[in-house]
Amino acid sequence: MIIDLNQILSTFNIDYEIAKGNNKLGEASLPKQFNQGGEIQGNFLSREFSLIYDPDKIKPEWDKVGHKKYGMLFEEESLGVIYQKTGFTSQSGYFVLKYDGVKYKMYRVGLETGYVYPIYEGSKLVACIVADKSIFNDLNLYHIYALNKSYSYISSIFGLYLDACIQLKYGPLVTSPNYIAGKSLRKKYDPAFIEKIKDMENKA
């Protein structure tokens, strides 16, 4: 499945549209005062969700998921958490989403052409986010390639978290990789995966 997570012009909030071609699948909204704490509310098809930024960790839900650095609570039918796992170097960290008993990991891979974000469930590559470099009016655009609809949803959550971190100054601008990934990190990104998803779309 191939979809786009597109930041759109808005007066009061930072808004996003999730779409497959001209078909709108969902939307989300990030408050402009999000750095002081707040909630991203969104929907994907029939699923409604929230990403909650609580910088002082005062909500009791944190006791259930653990106090994570750069963490946000993920609320849907059950409670989850999304956060950054920092490493000793800029290349050894990654992003984690724990939800419904499953742990997903997303890696940030800097290439000569820009950033890509492969997403894993265990050892299986299930999706990849590609940050579009042709940004207009400072509106970020992410292309998502996923094995199915469920992984497209998970990828959209990762994409929203990634963009929220940029708004909070927790992450780099998507158009300017400040490093080129080393050999071990590059192995996380498989260009053939994107071609595989494109072939699946063409045959559908």
Under 8 Å CB-to-CB from 89, ≥6 apart: which residues? none
Neighbouring C-beta atoms of residue 84, cutoff 10 Å: 20
The model's pLDDT over 123-171, given as tens digits with 9 standing for 90+, comes to 999 999 998 876 666 678 899 999 999 999 999 999 999 888 877 775 4
CA distance 187 to 30: 33
Q: What is the pLDDT of residues 172-197, one digit of tens each?
A: 444 555 555 567 777 888 989 999 99
For β-strands 47-53 and 72-75, DSSP reports them as antiparallel
Q: Do residues 41 and 28 touch, judged by C-beta distance below 8 A?
A: yes
Contact 65, 49 (CB under 8 A): no
Segment 60-81, tens digit of pLDDT: 888 888 877 789 999 998 999 9
